[in-house]
Amino acid sequence: MFYHLLPPLSDVHIVFNLFTYITFRAAGAIVTSLLIAFVAGPKMIRWLTRLRFGQVVRDTGPETHLKKAGTPTMGGTLIILGAVVSTLLWADLTNRYTWVCLAGLVWMGGIGFVDDWLKVVRKETQGLVGRFKMLGQYGFGLALGVYLVWQPLSDYPATSTGVPFFSDVMITLATPVFVIFVATVIAGASNAVNLTDGLDGLAAGLSGIAAGTFGLFAYVTGRVDTSAYLGLFYLPGSGEMAIFALALAGASIGFLWYNAHPASVFMGDTGSLALGGAFGVMAILLKSEFLLVIIGGVFVVETLSVMIQVSWYKYTARRFGEGRRVFRMAPIHHHFEKLGWPETQVVVRFWIAGLLCAFLAISTLKIR
């Protein structure tokens, strides 16, 4: 909104020219979303507490988590609120990249909200039936894939994507394959963050790191000079995604203020599915789907740990008549808890791993 209202006032004072610059508006977006989370956080926690929207904790989890039962959940609404309001204030509202990102965030957050609502109402750890959740995730992904083919956002082939570390390699998929690929990326990213959200502050901190990294890539990809120098796709208008990405980073960090151990509120599926969906959307729009694996390396490892655990357990149950485990507990952050690591130690070390993944992803800008 500021982008449309304030630059015309540059005749009054040159300071209003600042609102034409993406860097200035991105900085404004992260500060705004951070402040929204700070200010609205206590009110939302009291509201969730009054409605008795408390977390339901599974009995099979770590014993130290049982005391978390009843902690307000669905706090991801705060992240969505901060990111959406901040983006609407600072972004170019005629930019399609902006609206697609917002649509992904809100849609996935809506699925997570329904899931959390059912858990609270039923007082069970099982919320929305898995197939219905996947239907909602894949449905949005398929719709996005069709939209990008029907209404391309750039002059590059809609079904093309880049490969990290290579400036002259482009993979072009057949249209049906691309549409399915988009849906898989969206659903995979959304569920990966959801699986990671198991310790106080873990998913929020990692999401802030990932969102900030995507903001950097969006900015350089949207500049004709920088993208040419670095051998990246030049995607006109994609720089506006930097504002959305940093708004998301600010909202995540602001939420972390209340989600840090011992957490006063949990993001729930409302937040985790929304964040993962947003990362998937940004990766697709930036034609950097494979880069998502690097930026979200910790999310990927968390997901793989669950897949390995479940697959091995089922295989050994059939083969030996008794299911066996690779990890003491999955996702893998619980494995380290079972080894005796304090929760805060697991979280901080996983944040460090997330930072290393972000640095590795940034290195692909020059190692090409």
The answer to whether position 104 is within a domain reads yes
Instruction: Compute the distance between CA of residue 59 and CA of residue 141 in angstroms, rounded to an integer.
Output: 34
Instruction: Compute the distance between CA of residue 157 and CA of residue 40 in angstroms, rounded to an integer.
Output: 43
Q: Quick one: average pLDDT of 288-315?
A: 95
The answer to whether position 120 is within a domain reads yes
What is the predicted pLDDT for the residue at 221?
94
What is the predicted pLDDT for the residue at 305?
96
Q: Work out how many domains the chain is built from and give that number.
A: 1
Phi and psi dihedrals of 167, rounded to 5?
Answer: -90, -20
Instruction: Compute the distance between CA of residue 344 and CA of residue 260 in angstroms, rounded to an integer.
Output: 9
Q: Which residues of 253-281 are buried (b: 16+ CB within 10 A; e: fewer)?
A: bbbbebbeeebbbbbbbbbbbbbbbbbbb
What is the predicted pLDDT for the residue at 53?
82
What is the predicted pLDDT for the residue at 54?
76
Q: Which residues of 65-104 are buried (b: 16+ CB within 10 A; e: fewer)?
A: beebeebbbbbbbbbbbbbbbbbebbbbeebebbebbbbb
**pLDDT tens, position by position, 181-205:** 999 999 999 999 999 998 999 999 9
Q: Are strands 160-163 and 166-172 parallel, antiparallel or unpaired?
A: antiparallel
Q: Amino acid identity, residue 266?
A: F
Q: Is the pLDDT of residue 366 over 80?
A: yes
The answer to whether position 237 is within a domain reads yes
The answer to whether position 174 is within a domain reads yes
What is the predicted pLDDT for the residue at 229?
87
pLDDT band at 215 (very low <50, low <70, confident <90, very high): very high
- CB-based contacts of 95: which residues, under 8 Å, 6+ apart? 237, 240
Instruction: Compute the distance between CA of residue 365 and CA of residue 334 in angstroms, rounded to an integer.
Output: 34
**pLDDT tens, position by position, 221-235:** 999 999 888 888 889
Q: Amino acid identity, residue 173?
A: L
pLDDT band at 55 (very low <50, low <70, confident <90, very high): confident
What is the predicted pLDDT for the residue at 280?
97
pLDDT band at 59 (very low <50, low <70, confident <90, very high): low
Q: Quick one: average pLDDT of 166-176?
A: 86
Instruction: Compute the distance between CA of residue 256 and CA of residue 38 in angstroms, rounded to an integer.
Output: 10
The answer to whether position 236 is within a domain reads yes
Q: Is the pLDDT of residue 99 over 90?
A: yes
pLDDT band at 69 (very low <50, low <70, confident <90, very high): confident
Q: 61 is in which domain, residue-wise?
A: 25-159+169-288
pLDDT band at 64 (very low <50, low <70, confident <90, very high): low
- Strand partners of residue 172: 160
> In whole numbers, what is the pLDDT of the chain averaged over residues?
91
The answer to whether position 320 is within a domain reads no
Residue 104 tokens read as 């992904």
CA angle in degrees (0–180, nearest 5) for 195-346-45: 65
The answer to whether position 134 is within a domain reads yes
What is the predicted pLDDT for the residue at 10?
72
> What stretch of H or E contains 171?
strand 166-172
What is the predicted pLDDT for the residue at 63?
64
What is the predicted pLDDT for the residue at 66?
65
Count of H-run helices and E-run strands, the chain: 14, 2
In terms of residues, how long is the chain?
368
What is the predicted pLDDT for the residue at 104?
97
What is the predicted pLDDT for the residue at 199?
93
What is the predicted pLDDT for the residue at 61?
62
Q: Quick one: average pLDDT of 288-312?
A: 95
Q: Quick one: average pLDDT of 296-323?
A: 93
* DSSP one-letter code for 17: G
- Strand partners of residue 170: 162
Instruction: Give percent of the chain above pLDDT 90.
Output: 72
- CB-based contacts of 335: which residues, under 8 Å, 6+ apart? 305, 327, 328, 329
**pLDDT tens, position by position, 106-127:** 999 999 999 999 888 877 777 7
* DSSP one-letter code for 54: B
The answer to whether position 2 is within a domain reads no
